[in-house]
Amino acid sequence: MIEDTGCRGARITGAGYYVPDLVLTNFDFEKIVDTSDEWIVTRSGIRERHMASKDQASSDMAYEASCSALRDAGVQGSDLDLIVVGTVTPDMPFPSTACLLQDRLGAAGAAAFDVNAACSGFIYALTVAQSMVSAGKAQKALVLGVETLTRITDYTDRSTCVLFGDGSGAVVLEPCPRGEGIIGTFMRSDGSKPELLYLPAGGSRKPITAERINNRETFVRMKGDGLFKLAVRMMVEASEFVLNKANMKSSDLNYLIPHQANIRIIKGVKKRLHLSDEQVIVNIDRMGNTSSASIPIAFGEARRKGIFKKGDKILMVTFGGGLTWGAVLFEY
């Protein structure tokens, strides 16, 4: 957990997102696995998701989202002194996706690193960057969530393949007077249940072998029902923690931007926080679950539509593999 003890504030001054052109609908999946549009919509709320082309990697999507966020903030790549990327689907184990991005953005004076916190990657990355900007260790930070989940999705497993999509979202973070911008943050983890969501092979425990490829161990495995039960509870816990710390109630919120994993999880959180449909930003129907990219994509889309107004209190909240969960509360 990070206490907000910085000597100055940090605020989001720009946002952008990118999703690939290729769209897979539920009807496309009816041709691939034994499923139906009706099952997918009822159980998850997803109607379509975007898929990266064969020659598109995470850093390519991250670059597009970054250019859009930098333009929005009026900041040059060369102005950046920090780049933090949340991802579990980097271009390669190393160099980090953040380092690849640093070069393409011409950010010669920037430190750059990735954060692996699964679906909580963006919230963790934003919290780390906020801490550094508040502490005076960074002046202009670029924070991203990016995923090419379709590369680690098993298209023979109907329980997972219908859920995931690709994309990237980015924000620029700059200093502001203390008390403005980001008001509160929360991060938690529980590593005792890795089997709920994991990628078995490809690391030092189980290097890739022909046998592991044949066993489909290079693809995501998920126990959806186990995660489902925890997700609502953890996301409500994270939300209430940051609200309490800020002496606020959920009734003080203008908008909630939840991780887009399942519409039923989103509705559960909405109900427990006593929010209306209009207060909750939802795009899972068009994006599917893009893991660490889901919150910055949803934020970037809503910002571009002009939904938010100055002074709005916005809460981003997430839950994902690890297990990890967290929240960021800020004034727009």
Pick from 113, 198, 228, 308 the residue near ligand ACO by CB under 6 A.
Answer: 228
Binding mask 192-211 for ligand ACO (x = CB under 6 A): -----x--------------
Binding mask 41-60 for ligand ACO (x = CB under 6 A): --xx----------------
- Strand-pairing partners, residue 18, are 168
Amino acid at residue number 211: E
Q: Is 26 an active-site residue?
A: no
Active-site residue, selected from the candidate residues 119, 161, 176, 262: 119
Closer to ligand ACO by CB, 127 or 260: give it: 260
The β-bridge relationship of strands 166-176 and 9-18 is: antiparallel
Smallest distance, ligand ACO to C-beta of residue 175, A: 32
How far is Cα 59 from Cα 92, in angstroms, rounded to an integer?
A: 10
Smallest distance, ligand ACO to C-beta of residue 256, A: 16
Contact flag: residue 235 with ligand ACO (CB under 6 A): no
Binding segment for ligand ACO (CB under 6 A), chosen from 2-10, 60-68, 105-113, 313-321, is: 313-321
Contact flag: residue 24 with ligand ACO (CB under 6 A): no
Smallest distance, ligand ACO to C-beta of residue 57, A: 19
Binding segment for ligand ACO (CB under 6 A), chosen from 52-60, 258-266, 278-286, 300-308, is: 258-266
Smallest distance, ligand ACO to C-beta of residue 157, A: 8
Smallest distance, ligand ACO to C-beta of residue 77, A: 29
Pick from 35, 254, 279, 283 the residue near ligand ACO by CB under 6 A.
Answer: 35
Smallest distance, ligand ACO to C-beta of residue 293, A: 11
Closer to ligand ACO by CB, 134 or 239: give it: 239
What HEC string does the chain produce? CCCCCCCCEEEEEEEEEECCCCEEEHHHHHCCCCCCHHHHHHHHCCCEEECCCCCCCHHHHHHHHHHHHHHHHCCCHHHCCEEEEECCCCCCCCCCHHHHHHHHCCCCCCEEEEECCHHHHHHHHHHHHHHHHHCCCCCCEEEEEEEEHHHHCCCCCHHHHCCECEEEEEEEEEEECCCCEEEEEEEEECCCCHHHEECCCCCCCCCCCHHHHHCCCCCCEECHHHHHHHHHHHHHHHHHHHHHHCCCCHHHCCEEEECCCCHHHHHHHHHHCCCCHHHECCCHHHHCECHHHHHHHHHHHHHHCCCCCCCCEEEEEEEECCCEEEEEEEEC
Q: The tokens of 310 are what?
A: 């100055």
Closer to ligand ACO by CB, 26 or 134: give it: 26
Binding segment for ligand ACO (CB under 6 A), chosen from 9-17, 136-144, 226-234, 243-251, is: 226-234
Which residues of this chain interact with ligand ACO, rule CB under 6 A? 35, 39-40, 43-44, 118-119, 158-159, 162, 197, 224-225, 227-228, 231, 261-262, 265, 289, 291, 319-321
